[in-house]
Amino acid sequence: MTNKSTPPQAAAASEGRPLHFIEQIITKDLGEGKVKRVVTRFPPEPNGYLHIGHAKSICLNFELAEAFGGVCNLRFDDTNPAREEQEYVDAIKADVAWLGFHWDGEVKYSSDYFDTFYDWAVALVGAGKAYVCDLSAQQASEYRGWATRPGRDSPNRGRSVEENLDLLARMKAGEFDEGSRTLRAKIDMASPNMHLRDPVLYRIRKESHHQTGDKWCIYPSYDFAHGQGDAIEGVSHSICTLEFADHRPLYDWFIDNLPVPSRPRQYEFARLELNYTVTSKRKLKQLVDEGHVGGWDDPRMPTLSGMRRRGYTPAAVRRFCDMIGVTRAASTVDIGTLEYAVRDDLNEQAPRAMCVLDPLKVVVGNFPAGEVEHMTQPAHPQRQAMGQRRLPFTREIFIDRADFNEDSGLSRKKFKRLVPGEWVRLRGAYVIRADDVIKNTAGEILEIRASLVPGTVGANPPEGVRPRGVIHWVSASHSIDCEVRLYDRLFTDEAPDAGEKNFLDALNPHSLTVLSGCRGEQGLAGAAGGDHFQFEREGYFCVDGKLSGEGGLVFNRTIGLKEGR
Ligand code: ATP
Ligand code: MG
């Protein structure tokens, strides 16, 4: 992680890596005096929630600004009111802040500059470099040709400046229907780069906009807004993903042909692709809209809000983004890398607790009924400062059903838990022996009758008593009832949306398992939404702030203890 006082060289060195290509470019630009101050921006379109791919772009832009003593803007690229909403604006701001980044000054919007963009469009028309075109979208696309075949001029390409100015003003005034006219740049209909074949600058959209209300009925295209917004904000390095490489000549054309106050440059890097994951806002929206998940923040979603609710930490997400690096070579990252970062951070941070997911009652016959003995355990094995937790021990306790097996012939190596006639250690408490199994008429195990070995709390058992292993437990009376939600991958296919595949076909029907009637140690009663725990032997869990409440606590399993769970 870098900060203001760490030059990038040192930052890279502390991470044990060479400078990546954008750091090299910036170092050179600063060295040659081409750039005085590094300004970057993160430019989301508010048409969905941010996902893990966006996190890479956020980390890159904000960390570069920090490392080079510059600033990073948060600018909403809000040029398409039809797909955008305030809800997304709010969620995106919350997600960027959650990652721990601070944008420079106020949040910015492309729509802040709509007046300037319009003035510049008028200036282009005045210079004979833009015209109003009457082709329909379909006609325009036919006229555009294709990569190997030059396009044809629009019949309106030769319109006079006066007529174009008049038509543009009337477009703005709302005189024409949606789709009936566009403003286009006059560049080159034969260019091998399709983006230079008289691209659209303005389209008619009779939609209310979440920031500008009903002020406008024409809206600039992405291309006519993005670079100009960069120039207005003094962005020095405009970093985007590789699919925009083809747009760069157009980006530069606008900068060359408009009276912009500064000269930003665009650089492209490879977008993050994760296996078992889709990172297209359109597809994520489809999952939400069609009810395949509970919402954008469903803990199975690769959105930042979903991962937060699941229990991923900002430190883990940032660490992951550092681990995968920045290159121009497209590649798919294994989801295990992200999971590693999450597990590693939670191992450091999360206090330990015991929670029995599938409770089986054990009655300790030689412990007096009604009595409570307080055991203690460290909240975290390495972090003494986190203190101790109290674990009440009582005659009736719960262990996990999976920690008992009736077959006492199971080898000690294979089954390091409780079997009839043998011993097991209860974590932080006594060694107990299973004496008897009580069943109902259907043969289901109702409870275990056991006895404790006196003097075994924090001490080795006497000669001849050989516990098979250590298991977790809670007091039956001094524990809380809770719900636990286990998650598996949302998709069973490593590349759910590759090629012609329909990503919905790869949805995992077992991605969510809800366990009710789980029993957590007493101290968990005070937990609040977002609190992390390692439930011993089970994994890392996080209190679901949305689902927990009057009815009790709901824990999401963030991730298992070991790889592959
Ligand atoms: P969509 O999937 O809907 O096309 P988008 O990528 O266009 O989403 P934007 O809101 O335009 O979404 O993205 C904001 C910024 O995040 C852009 O600079 C974009 O390049 C970057 N970004 C988006 N997806 C990724 C990704 N998978 N990896 C890295 N950066 C990304
Ligand atoms: Mg985009």
Q: What is the dihedral of CA 242, 248, 249, 253, to 10 degrees?
A: 170
For 177, the token pair is 């229907």
User: Which ligand lies nearest to the CA atom of residue 273 in the structure?
Assistant: 1
Indicate which residue of 186, 281, 489, 557 is catalytic: 281
Q: Which atom of ligand 1 is nearest to the CA of 58?
A: 16
- Ligand 1 centre to CA of 54 (Å) is 6
CATH class of the domain whose range is 358-471: mainly beta
DSSP state of 272: P
Q: What is the largest CA-CA distance in the chain?
A: 104
Q: To the nearest 5 percent, what fractions of the chain are helix, strand and coil?
A: 30, 25, 45
pLDDT of residue 563: 81
Spatial separation of the C-alpha atoms in residues 49 and 63, rounded to whole Å: 21
- Ligand 2 centre to CA of 193 (Å) is 19
Q: Closest Cα partner for 533 from 392, 386, 414, 338? A: 386
User: Which ligand lies nearest to the CA atom of residue 53 in the structure?
Assistant: 1
pLDDT of residue 300: 98
Tell which CATH architecture fits domain 8-271.
Answer: 3-Layer(aba) Sandwich (3.40)
pLDDT of residue 6: 62
* One-letter amino acid for residue 69 of the chain: G
User: Which ligand lies nearest to the CA atom of residue 235 in the structure?
Assistant: 1
Indicate the SS3 state at residue 195: helix
- Ligand 1 centre to CA of 102 (Å) is 19
What is the best residue among 20, 57, 238, 326 to mutate for testing ligand 1's pocket, by most ligand atoms within 8 Å of CB? 57
Indicate the SS3 state at residue 554: strand
- Same CATH fold assignment for domains 8-271 and 358-471: no
Indicate which residue of 83, 129, 271, 285 is catalytic: 271
The reported pTM is 0.95
Domain spans in the chain, listed from the N-terminal domain onward: 8-271, 281-352+482-559, 358-471
Ligand 1 first shell, C-beta below 6 A: 43-45, 53-54, 56-57, 240-241, 271-272, 279-282
Nearest CA to ligand 1 atom 13: 44
8 A C-beta contact, residue 62 and residue 104: no
8 A C-beta contact, residue 393 and residue 430: yes
In the residue annotation, 538 being an active-site residue is answered as no
Spatial separation of the C-alpha atoms in residues 19 and 26, rounded to whole Å: 10
- H helices present in 78-130, as ranges: 86-98, 114-126
In the residue annotation, 281 being an active-site residue is answered as yes
What DSSP element (H or E) covers 467?
Answer: strand 467-471
Q: Which atom of ligand 1 is nearest to the CA of 56?
A: 29
8 A C-beta contact, residue 29 and residue 93: no
8 A C-beta contact, residue 320 and residue 341: yes
* One-letter amino acid for residue 475 of the chain: S
Spatial separation of the C-alpha atoms in residues 459 and 431, rounded to whole Å: 10
Spatial separation of the C-alpha atoms in residues 147 and 224, rounded to whole Å: 22
Nearest CA to ligand 1 atom 9: 44
What DSSP element (H or E) covers 471?
Answer: strand 467-471
Q: Report helix angle 314-324 to 335-349, nearest 10.
A: 140
pLDDT of residue 343: 98
User: Which ligand lies nearest to the CA atom of residue 326 in the structure?
Assistant: 1
pLDDT in tens, the chain (565 residues): 444 446 777 777 777 889 999 999 999 999 999 999 999 999 999 999 999 999 999 999 999 999 999 999 999 999 999 999 999 999 999 999 999 999 999 999 999 999 999 999 999 999 999 999 999 999 999 999 998 999 999 999 999 999 999 999 999 999 999 999 999 999 999 999 999 999 999 999 999 999 999 999 999 999 999 999 999 999 999 999 999 999 999 999 999 999 999 999 999 999 999 999 999 999 999 999 999 999 999 999 999 999 999 999 999 999 999 999 999 998 899 999 999 999 999 999 999 999 999 999 999 999 999 999 999 999 999 999 999 999 999 999 999 999 999 999 999 999 999 999 999 999 999 999 999 999 999 999 999 999 999 999 999 999 999 999 999 999 999 999 999 999 999 999 999 999 999 999 999 999 999 999 999 999 999 999 999 999 999 999 999 999 999 999 999 999 999 886 4
- Ligand 2 centre to CA of 84 (Å) is 12
DSSP state of 23: H
Residue 478's alpha-carbon distances to 475, 527, 548, in angstroms, are 5, 16, 20
Ranges of beta strands (E only) in 153-295 are: 182-185, 200-204, 218-220, 237-241, 265-269, 273-274
In CATH terms, 281-352+482-559 corresponds, of 3.20.20.140, 3.20.20.120, 3.40.718.10, 2.40.240.10, to 2.40.240.10
In the residue annotation, 550 being an active-site residue is answered as no
Nearest CA to ligand 1 atom 14: 44
Nearest CA to ligand 1 atom 18: 240
pLDDT of residue 564: 63
